[in-house]
Amino acid sequence: MSQITGADKNAETIFKQTTDDETQSLKDNPKFSVIYKGHMTRSTILETKYPGDSGVQKLTVDGPGDNFIIMDSRSRINIRTGPRNPALGAGSGALNINAGGGGIWKFEERLNMELNMGGDNEDKQALNMHVNGNMVVDASGDGVVVRGNDITIIAGNMLTLKGMQVNIDANNGAGAINMFGGIVQTVTDTKNDFVTGQAKLRNFGEITDVQYDPRGTSNIISMGHINRKVLGDYELWSAGVMSYKAAGMLKMIPLVFNRLDTFKITTGVGNVAIDPTGSFLVNAKLGAEVKAVTDASIEATAGPVTVKGTQSATIEAGEGIDLKALANDILIDAKSKVTIKALTEVAIDSAAIYLN
């Protein structure tokens, strides 16, 4: 196809010129040189040189419509399409690149991209990328920042986050973090939870806390109260020694308002049974009292029963008192006198009576 260039001089046969052509000096103004001008599309290829020794030189390819490509002496390339005009079609003003093979984009310095959503685009999308295969973003600099009001990452199979340190920050600690999963599993060497407000666990199944290391210890340390309410049974079992201590101090609003007893065991129905393999010891710094509405029994099936007091001892019953020794003697030994007093009579029945 032959090239059509612009005319070098005006035609002289169209009309008779009555005045001379005006002239203009371009010494201090840009100079233009038209290389090619299309008569069908009005496309133009031209050179431009701006004034001065260091003036910029440009090669412009001005295509149909408002499209153009500019290459200048400062090693810059500018590509511009015309505006989007719905009257010209849905694809008007678009820049399309379709390569049958691969490609390389290499920028020695920073790249700025500004994308705007179209008025009739689906879901108001400004950037839509479809990758057939794996996608890798490798940043060798300081970091990667993705900023947006709502950010969603959808993984069809697995989502993995890896890093020397992984931080999840919701509004500088003032926002909410919600996790939904059929199974939530964490594997860690050390775990620290700092809760400045309230911590709640709502569970509909079984809760199991297993400590595999025999040297490990499970601790509950509270500066306030500990409250447990169980509708079912409650069992404690320890292979070692079990110890309970209650100081009875009050430094805040109490959880138990009855402060008469420092340590109290109460049952709604049934008995309270203490069945030790060894001895059962009660060591009270002050008084000790055993009360029962019906019967009260102290029994030793294999050894003696000793009741001892540093001061006086009193045995009192609303009805009778019965002292029996089925196999051995009954010994009453007093350092002072012994008084036996009855309102009606005193009966002593024995095979022999010794009075000294």
Q: What is the mean pLDDT of the chain?
A: 86
CA pair distance 274, 254, nearest whole angstrom: 29
CA pair distance 224, 199, nearest whole angstrom: 14
Residue by residue, DSSP assigns 289-339 as: ----SS------SSS------SS------SS------SSS------SS---
CA pair distance 272, 158, nearest whole angstrom: 55
What average pLDDT score do residues 185-199 get? 88
Say whether pLDDT at 107 is over 80: yes
What average pLDDT score do residues 115-135 get? 80
Model confidence over 268-312: pLDDT tens digits? 888 888 888 888 888 888 888 888 888 888 888 888 888 887 888
By percentage, how much of the chain surpasses pLDDT 70?
94
Nearest residue to 246 (alpha-carbon basis) of 270, 226, 232, 217: 226
Residue by residue, DSSP assigns 204-263 as: SS--------TT-------SS------SS------SS-----------SS-SS---S-SS
CA pair distance 255, 266, nearest whole angstrom: 16
Residues in the chain: 356
Distance linking the first and last C-alpha atoms of the chain? 158
Say whether pLDDT at 64 is over 50: yes
Say whether pLDDT at 325 is over 80: yes
- How large is the C-alpha radius of gyration of the chain? 51
The model's pTM: 0.61
CA pair distance 60, 214, nearest whole angstrom: 81
CA pair distance 166, 169, nearest whole angstrom: 10
Burial 4-16 (b: 16+ CB within 10 A, else e): eeeeeeeeeeeee
CA pair distance 138, 218, nearest whole angstrom: 44
What are the phi and psi torsion angles at 300 (to 5°)? Answer: -120, 115
What are the phi and psi torsion angles at 70 (to 5°)? Answer: -125, 130
Model confidence over 67-97: pLDDT tens digits? 999 999 999 999 999 888 888 887 888 899 9
Confidence of residue 62 (pLDDT cuts 50, 70, 90): very high
How many C-beta atoms lie closer than 10 Å to residue 176's C-beta? 6
Nearest residue to 32 (alpha-carbon basis) of 53, 14, 59: 59
pLDDT of residue 1: 47
pLDDT of residue 69: 96
What average pLDDT score do residues 252-263 get? 86
Domain boundaries, the chain: 28-82
Q: Which segment, 215-219, 248-252, 307-311, is predicted with the most confidence on average?
A: 215-219
